[in-house]
Amino acid sequence: MRHISMTPFGRQAVTAGLLATQALSEAPAPAQIPDKWALLRDLTAARKAHGVSDRDLAVLSALLSFHPGRELADDDRLIVFPSNAALSERAHGMAESTLRRHLAALVRAGLIARRDSPNGKRYATRDSAGALDAVYGFDLRPLLVLSQRIMARAAEARAAELAQRRLREAVVIRLRDTAKLLAWIEERRGPCPGLADPLGAIHRGLRRKLSADDLHDLAQRLDALRAWIDPIIAQETEEVSGNDRESERHYQNSETDIFESELCREKQKDRPETEAVAGRDDPAIPLALVLKAAPDILDYQPDGIRSWRALVAAAAFVRPMLGISPDAWDSACAAMGAPNAAITLACMLQRAGEINRPGGYLRALTGMAEGPGFSPGPMVMALLRADNARPL
């Protein structure tokens, strides 16, 4: 027979929640008998809806291990009576004071009920025929009664989690599209701090675990950026299409392009220093070698990087994503020259996971560049050596 005790042992007072749990333990059981471990997995998914923590569920898992069999059938075996020492052992050595706190949380959540003996101990007695006469311990019947509700809430929680994951994926794709479109615009029109800085803030925000509301907010901010970018893209596309129609024969000859680009470079050397992109001569290290050592910078220029000007534009776009302030970037360009500063930032981007404070790191290199002898060449060669040493 099942022994029913409505009041707690010791100084614990009767509360409305306790009476509600006791009433729930006497409610009719569902027709479907649940698997206790499947039910625990569902409760893990729906734990926020039931107001329990992962540690609470660890204690509940230990309690369920004292229930014989896999199914929570409506019988006397639903009351388990382990000692604190045995329960602590199955809870991986959890302290008894911690056990009591989590057991109380499970009772408050209405997932289990107490069946206290006259002296507060947990045990079972049998009659002369060997059948259970009285059982004192923790009653799992509320868990059985709530099983259908738990399964429904678990399905809702999993659906919400999937929707949030899909929303995050959509935001990441939208961010990537916006970043590459902005890089395409900056290659033609120069840096756009008014657009790049908000985009960098969104990129940094995605490093955290965000709620659905936060993700919706990021999506709206990206939509606002696209509202500024799309008209510029439309204008640039019209100009490019017009140029293509006017000089179709010219663009069919790739060798002519290369020759004309060399002529442009020769002309650029004759310009005043203030008109040059870097304010200094191009670096001695080949651009192709830089891109081989630090290829991650290419992700931010969809049309590729074929000049120092394009590398500088890509570095200026990536700068806020690394948390480097405009002042630190301007100081680096002034001390190193823009191409050398861009090479340095490309190398930093390649090793972003190893640099804790990119802004401070760049300022330190800028301080070195203010004296004689600084060159980003050793950084490039170190990346090449590391890439060659990596196992295939």
- The amino acid at residue 82 is P
For the chain, the first-to-last Cα distance in angstroms comes to 69
Both tokens of residue 285? 């290290």
Q: What is the pLDDT of residues 38-83, one digit of tens each?
A: 999 999 999 999 999 999 999 999 999 999 889 988 887 888 889 8
Q: Which two tokens stand for residue 303?
A: 């049309």
CA 343, CA 332: separation in Å to the nearest integer? 11
The tokens describing 75, both together, are: 């019988």
pLDDT tens for 209-243 read 888 888 888 888 888 888 888 887 787 776 655 55
Token pair in block for residue 299 = 């992700």
Question: How much is the pLDDT for 273?
Answer: 32
Distances (CA, A) of 137 to 76, 87, 314: 11, 12, 67
CATH of 16-145, one of 3.10.450, 1.10.10, 1.10.260, 1.10.3470: 1.10.10
- Whose CA is closest to 341, among 322, 363, 321, 372? 363
Q: Which of 58-72, 132-146, 200-214, 259-273 has the lowest mean pLDDT?
A: 259-273
Q: 3-state DSSP call for residue 238?
A: helix
pTM score over 0.75: no
pLDDT at 14 > cutoff 60 = no
Q: Which two tokens stand for residue 211?
A: 């709620």
Burial label, 270 (beta-carbon count in 10 A; 0-12, 13-18, 19+): exposed
